[in-house]
């Protein structure tokens, strides 16, 4: 072997040894940060709850996953619908067709003006699900114990009774008895069930609150009840706000409790509010991941 070839071989060997040493002593590559489990907590609002569809549509279009869902009252109904696996379009079609007669009937009693017994069959009849275990997304539903004033959360077993209790608006619907407890609408104790979302696994919670107007002239006893509770809600100690990572508040004040025929406008209000909140949502996700916001591209988290 010539001197020239010998030098080439030695140079190659030295380089090879250097590469092996670099590999052996290199700092291990850090694994990519884990994405936080995202929970969406939906507040109540009768027909105004249709605005939740707009929020969910934007999250879906922007590839922001929903790992956990919770709901109060109308929010519970929309949460079940979405968690059942139905598409936004299918849920929207059902929302357009929904009327009071589909979930309640006027039946005056000492405990309420109407019964929401029909609502117990809604998940099976319209969504094809009967238990929490049938759902595609973990879900918790909030109701209020009329005796203790505490929030009661359902996340297992039959959907119908839990949904009915969560939607038993005081004064309007008769309370629902479950396991010896008299339960009414969840909005009294959990207007937006943020704590419930964390209890079933959410690391980051997006809360959606639907405020009702309280300055219009009432035209029925239902309006009187609703306006009264709206005033109470404004002055309540809203602890859930401090516990939510992001709060989305669609502008739905001007919609009435039974404005089901205004589905298009309600969904649009939800979409507008969700799109306005996207920068904060992405920043919150990035913060939980420990990455820079700028590294998260629109439509990707």
**Residue numbers annotated as active site:** 73, 185
Let me know: does 203 contact 40? Beta carbons within 8 Å. no
Q: How far apart (Å, rounded) are the C-alpha atoms in residues 57 and 267? A: 9
The token duo for 47 is: 């027909």
Q: How far apart (Å, rounded) are the C-alpha atoms in residues 118 and 154? A: 19
**Alpha helices, H only, 200-294:** 221-235, 239-243, 263-289
Q: How far apart (Å, rounded) are the C-alpha atoms in residues 246 and 188? A: 21
Largest CA distance in the chain: 110
Q: Beta 105-109 vs 112-115: how paired, if at all?
A: antiparallel
């Amino acid at each position: 072997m010539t001197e020239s070839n010998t030098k080439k071989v030695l140079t190659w060997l030295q380089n090879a040894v250097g590469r092996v040493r670099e590999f052996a002593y290199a700092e291990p590559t850090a694994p990519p940060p884990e994405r936080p489990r995202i929970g969406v907590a939906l507040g109540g609002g009768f027909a105004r709850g249709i605005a939740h569809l707009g929020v969910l549509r934007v999250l879906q279009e922007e590839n922001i996953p929903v790992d956990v869902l919770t709901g109060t009252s109308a929010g519970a109904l929309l949460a079940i619908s979405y968690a059942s696996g139905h598409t936004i379009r299918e849920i929207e079609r059902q929302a357009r067709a929904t009327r009071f007669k589909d979930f309640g009937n006027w039946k005056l009693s000492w405990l309420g003006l109407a019964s929401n017994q029909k609502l117990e069959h809604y998940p099976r009849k319209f969504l094809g699900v009967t238990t929490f275990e049938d759902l595609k997304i973990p879900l918790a539903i909030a109701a209020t114990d009329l005796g203790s004033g505490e929030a009661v959360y359902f996340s297992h077993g039959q959907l119908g009774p839990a949904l009915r209790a969560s939607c038993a608006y005081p004064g309007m619907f008769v309370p629902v008895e479950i396991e010896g407890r008299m339960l009414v609408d969840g909005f009294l104790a959990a207007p937006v069930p943020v704590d419930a979302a964390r209890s079933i696994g959410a690391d980051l919670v997006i809360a959606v609150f639907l405020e009702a107007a309280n300055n219009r002239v009432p035209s029925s006893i239902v309006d009187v009840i609703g306006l009264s509770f709206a005033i109470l809600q404004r002055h309540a100690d809203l602890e859930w706000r401090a516990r939510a990572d992001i709060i989305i508040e669609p502008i739905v004040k001007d919609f009435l409790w039974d404005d089901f025929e205004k589905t298009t406008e309600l969904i649009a209000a939800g979409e507008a509010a969700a799109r306005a909140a996207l920068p904060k949502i992405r920043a919150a996700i990035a913060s939980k991941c420990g990455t820079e916001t700028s590294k998260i591209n629109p439509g990707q988290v």
